[in-house]
Structure formats: C-alpha cells, structure tokens
Amino acid sequence: MEQSRAHSQPPPRVPAAQTPARRDTMFCHKCQDEWYRDEHGLTCPACGSDFTEIVEEDNDPRDVHIHDHSDDTESMPDLEEAPAHLNPFAHHNPWRDAGHDADDPEETDISQLRYQQVAPGRFTVTGTVYRTMSPSGAGRGNPNVGGFASMLNNIIGAQIGQMHTVPPQNDEAERQQSGSGTTPAGHRFHYQANARLFPRDANHAGPQIEPVDEMSNVLAGLMAAFGEPPGGPRAAQNHDPYAPPAHPLNPLLAMLTGFMPGGNAAAGDFVYSQEALDRVISQLMEQTSTSNAPGPAPQSDIDALPRKHVSMDMLGPEGRAECSICMDEVNIGEEVTELPCHHWFHHGCVAMWLAEHDTCPHCRQGISEHSENAGGTTAGGAATASHGAATATQNPQNANTGSRSMPGAFDVEGDGSLDHPFVVPSASPEQRRG
C-alpha cells in the first residue's frame, strides 16, 4: 500500500450533492479504526498512527482493506486461524469461501457491503457475512506477529460491536441485517450467522458480566495442556458447541496470548486462578523434588564396588537378613555388594540407586572418591550398625574407611543433622544389618 498517501492526499472535495451535515470520515490503515475528522483530526485516536486516509465515496480505503484482508487469507491462512474461542472473529473471514461456495445464493451480496451515512452521527451498514470455518484447519496455527495487528483489530471491533449494537438476532434466517449506531468505529457491517455454520454464535451480545467459572475452566484446560502444541487444546475448544459466548474478556485473553513470542508460548506461562497457580507449583515441586539430592555415582565406581558372599556374621540377631532395597531375604553364601561404609545390598539394587544418587541408602555416605558425601573429615563417620566392625575386618582394602565405623553406634553423620536430619533406624529387625 502506498504509505505516503495519507498526507499527500489533497483536501477532500466537498460533494455538492451530499446531505448538508456531511462530515469527513477518517480511516486508519493500521488498525482500521474509523472516526470523524472534525472530532479527532487526522491521527488515529485508537492507535495513534498517522497512516490514515479520508474516506471518499469514490475512494474508499476500506474496500482496499477488505480485499487485502482477503488476499492475506490466501497467502497466510494461519492468520485467520487464531483460536476461535480466544478471538471470536478469528475465523470471521466472509470472503474465504466465496470462490468455491458457488451455490451460495447470497454470494452477490457479499461483495456488496454498503456503508451509508444517513445523518450526522448515524450510519447504516448492510451486508451479509458467512462465517465458514474449516474444522480441519481450525487452530492449526497461532497468530504470528504479522497477524496480530489484524487480530487486534478484530478484537477491538468485536468489543465495540458488542457494546453498541444490536438486539440479539435470529441466526437461523439467512437474511440481510441492517443496523445503525452512533459511532463509526467498528460498525462496518453486521455479521450474520448462518445456521449451517458453526453453532456458536459470536454475533449475539454475550453477557457482559464475566462468568468467572467458565473463564477459569478455559484456563484450566489450557493449563492442563501445558507442554502440548498450543493448537491442540485451542482447536478442541474451538469445536465445543457449548463454549461460552464471546465476551469482552476473551479478546483480552487473546491479546495476552498473542503477545507472547511467536505465539508459541503456552497459556500455562501465566496463571489466572489459584488452582492454576497450585498446579504450576505442584509441577515445579515435582520437577525439583530431588534436585537437591546428590547426583549419580560414576559407573566405574559402581562397577568397582567389592562383592562379597553373605556370611553368618552378616546376618541379624535372628539369623536372617534382607536387602533393604528390594526387601528380599538374602541367604548365606549369596553374593552382595558392599559400599565403602560397609552397608551391603544386592548389586543390582544398589547399582540402580547409585546410578541416580551417590549415597548409601542407609547412611548417605557416597561411594565415589570425589563425592562430597565421602569426605573423610567427619569424625563420626557413617552410621554403621553394630556389625560394622566385623565386616570391616573382612575387607582390608577398605580399611581406610573402616576407621570411620563406630561399632555399636547408630548416630547420624557428624556433619549433617541439618542437611540429613533423618536417622535411619538401621538396627530395626527388618533392616538386617550385617
């Protein structure tokens, strides 16, 4: 479009045969707002743009926009496929199907929208608009940056339309609608819903009071879809015939989501209700629940752990013992793996644990040289059950750590009542300690 046109244009002719109170109508190319020149001047009062033009009978820039819009749809279908429940007019492209909907008896009317000023501050618009949505295409994409301007425009138009228009209309009849209003903005034409089409009627002025429950339900749905492609849940919502009627806050929501980078950010990045917040917090808590736990032990260290066979003196006082990870009983002669702290387990059981966290399941001492949990500065050493000394003597290669065993002691690690306040009841009869 010729950007320079707005200002290089000569002053409008005053048509001689006009009604006496003829006023210049201004049109904003940026937001497609309309206003009277004598009220707001040449700069768009809605968006502040000066890319504006005076509407003249033989040079109506709005027609250009209408057709441009239609072209946009051809080349960038995504623009028009913003989630319809967020933006009730997103699918509201009346011209999209004009080409292939040849049976449409009103087709000629579609291209003959009329905008007439009948009196100062009054105008009449006539036209029929078909809202045809392709379910397969619905929600396929998000409004991208380029589409945002037109989306915003639709939003504003929708809001104004709701606030100023029209009694509820019977949308079963395919008839022309005409209406009038007191403001030029947003009153280009009235939309007429068609019974063949999508059952939700965005045309009717919905309740102006925000139904809070429904709002949060919608958001909850989006929250639940956290992480899914944004098109999915919105498309589903789009097909919900019981979706709440378009109301003013939904376009606001559409704006919020539209502002997100690339339109790809999920609505879950924001929360609008306490439940949603709780859900996010729960999720974070889950994700970080073990983030403070020590990291995995090196596989080589796990593989290098000494194996030994269960002997009589490794069994508990009742002559029984079990691996405290799988809780299976271990019998004399069975091979187990012993950690530096002399606690022993089935190799498979403890290897699985150490591969996630380098801590002894009983005393939290680490197995790897570099592990902070293995730091030998702790005088108290690891909590070791009463048989610790006995097992230590059987493993001379671990004599260096054996010195930290405290026979007969159950105390927690000396350094850690704050970090590791939990005392493992290692002497409990169920948890055989060797």
Partner 1 sequence: MSLPKRIIKETERLMADPVPGISAVPHEDNLRYFDVTIEGPSQSPYEKGIFQLELFLPDDYPMTPPKIRFLTKIYHPNIDRLGRICLDVLKSNWSPALQIRTILLSIQALLGAPNPDDPLANDVAQDWKKDEKGAIETARQWTQQYAK
Give me the residues that bind partner 1 (CB under 8 A), please. 278, 282, 285, 289-293, 324-328, 349, 352-353, 356, 359, 361-362, 364, 420-422, 424-425, 430-431
Least distance in angstroms from the C-beta of 198 to partner 1? 38
- Which residue number, 55 or 424, has a Cβ lying nearer to partner 1? 424
Least distance in angstroms from the C-beta of 203 to partner 1? 42
- Which residue number, 61 or 361, has a Cβ lying nearer to partner 1? 361
Least distance in angstroms from the C-beta of 368 to partner 1? 17
Least distance in angstroms from the C-beta of 415 to partner 1? 14
Least distance in angstroms from the C-beta of 208 to partner 1? 33
Radius of gyration of the chain (CA): 37
Least distance in angstroms from the C-beta of 381 to partner 1? 18
Least distance in angstroms from the C-beta of 371 to partner 1? 15
Measured at the CA of 228, the angle between CA 223 and CA 232, to 5 degrees, comes to 90
Q: Rounded to whole angstroms, how far apart are CA atoms 121 and 55?
A: 15
- Which residue number, 51 or 353, has a Cβ lying nearer to partner 1? 353
What are the structure tokens assigned to 363, written together?
């005393």
Least distance in angstroms from the C-beta of 394 to partner 1? 22
- Which residue number, 302 or 424, has a Cβ lying nearer to partner 1? 424
Residue linked to tokens 């028009």: 80
- Which residue number, 219 or 385, has a Cβ lying nearer to partner 1? 385
* Sequence-separated (6 or more) residues with CB below 8 Å from residue 40: 26
Least distance in angstroms from the C-beta of 221 to partner 1? 20
- Which residue number, 4 or 289, has a Cβ lying nearer to partner 1? 289
The residues that bridge with 309 in the sheet, in sequence order, are 335
- Which residue number, 208 or 282, has a Cβ lying nearer to partner 1? 282
Least distance in angstroms from the C-beta of 331 to partner 1? 15
- Which residue number, 111 or 282, has a Cβ lying nearer to partner 1? 282
- Which residue number, 188 or 432, has a Cβ lying nearer to partner 1? 432
Least distance in angstroms from the C-beta of 323 to partner 1? 9
- Which residue number, 158 or 349, has a Cβ lying nearer to partner 1? 349
* Sequence-separated (6 or more) residues with CB below 8 Å from residue 388: 342, 405, 406, 407, 433
Residue linked to tokens 């992480």: 227
* Sequence-separated (6 or more) residues with CB below 8 Å from residue 109: 127, 128, 176
Q: Can you state the angle between helices 249-259 and 145-164, rounded to 10 degrees? A: 170
- Which residue number, 313 or 328, has a Cβ lying nearer to partner 1? 328
